Chains A and B, each alone.
Chain A
């Protein structure tokens, strides 16, 4: 925070029109006799503009009031802050009697096809949501963890069947709060601990970045599932509320 003090050598009429004020808000006006100190103090930075309105600058000089401040926009974040490194590894590997190998691959890179996701949501019985909104939500989520099943037949080389069988995503402000949304696993693959693995990986990634407030909104039938994972319902009286538009 720097304080700008302009020394005006002549009194000005106190009535200034609004329009002038507004137009001047993005530029710094220098009166003719300006003190040398100000010229050295002002620094033109390419990423922000000095937001000292014309009237404010004169007023601060006349009233000897040093509360005029220059507010900097949020500074560019330090380079060491990274997005969660995408991981991909095989969670389960099974070999069928006929030699087909099925791998269940966990991935946190967010590489997901919206149509596949829509089909998976239909499979678990969720209401349909607009695809564009789904895509935007996935793009702006802090982390999207997916499970794909890859089946490799022994005979046909390079003819792998890849299928989306699970997903979980979390939104966050990257520092304090995170909310886990949309945890789903293909019904044919449920009961194997896949959902648990998805959620645990999310929690691990969030905690490693010191994001401590991890919350979610659980349907009544899955409250117990999340309790087993370490979640507490309404902890210390904290409840979730949703907005209801009044038409």
Chain B
């Protein structure tokens, strides 16, 4: 659990100042950047800091779903949003995830970052004057999960022996481009490698690919292909007893129960 600073200017060159509260020996003081554009965030790997309701709101804000092929509902005005996550299932998923990383930020900073660029310049001017006061406030009332908003999240499921898969990495749209997503993925990887797991996979869609590439992911060295179960129906005969299960907008066919195989090879002499 750490307090970190992210900079608005991290699109080009990232300037970060790290301040760890628990182990002072780990703190790496870098050249202090100008204070205007720095936003304090709190990163945590403690599962109890994740509130499923807040997480569900974050899912909606990022327009993401736990289903790989989500159902889109028309929200009016031509916008398509994902349907909300089932809270009970989310709780189950969280409790069975090996690694949970959450990032928090003060609500003021969330609003400040989402303002337009012009407004930001004015704000920066103002911030120059009150810079010290804000710094003092951040020191005295630091960002903690209790007084701030969940703005970033990521989790990984692992067998704690050989492999792990990363799911649901997300950052509030207004706070993107500041290095928070990278911070989350780096932390997940650190948690996994500290448990000696180096086979870390991530299933990503087209627009997430460049993000994961920057985080150090690439195509499989062994040339494997990622595949997903998408079979919906084998026969067009409606009388066939086919059970299907809904997963987002896909209707997946449950393989029929056949206790014996249709054929058995004759024994070789």
Contacts and interface: CB of A to CB of B under 8 A. Distances in A.
| Same complex | yes
B203 A171 contact: no
Contact of A92 (B21, B248, B260): B260
A213 B162 contact: no
A227 B227 CA distance: 9
Given A174-B92, A176-B89, A220-B224, A241 B146 contact: no
A77 B159 CA distance: 20
B265 A192 contact: yes
A81 interface: yes
A245 B160 contact: no
Given A1-B53, A210-B247, A242-B218, 20 more contacts: A56-B144, A70-B146, A71-B146, A91-B259, A92-B261, A140-B159, A172-B157, A173-B96, A203-B229, A208-B254, A214-B229, A215-B203, A226-B227, A230-B231, A231-B227, A236-B205, A238-B228, A240-B201, A241-B220, A242-B217
Given A18-B21, A223-B225, A241-B219, A207 B245 contact: yes
A73 B100 CA distance: 13
A236 B69 contact: yes
A244 B67 contact: no
B247 A212 contact: yes
A56 B200 CA distance: 39
B101 to A, nearest CB: 15
B6 interface: no
Interface in A124-147: 129, 132-141
A55 B141 contact: yes
A-B interface, 8 closest residue pairs, ranked by CB to CB distance from nearest: A212-B247, A230-B231, A240-B226, A137-B161, A136-B161, A175-B93, A73-B48, A241-B217
Interface residues of A, number: 95
Contacts of B21: 18, 22
B257 interface: yes
A71 B198 contact: no
Nearest to B253: A230
A134 B161 contact: yes
Contacts of B265: 191-192
Contact of A233 (B53, B140, B201, B227): B227
B97 interface: yes
B201 A133 contact: no
Contacts of A233: 225-227
Interface in B162-207: 162-163, 165, 167, 189, 193, 196, 198-206
A96 B264 CA distance: 13
Contacts of A158: none
A36 interface: no
A23 to B, nearest CB: 13
Contact of A212 (B157, B196, B250): B250
A91 B260 contact: yes
A174 B193 contact: no
A215 B224 contact: no
B159 A219 contact: no
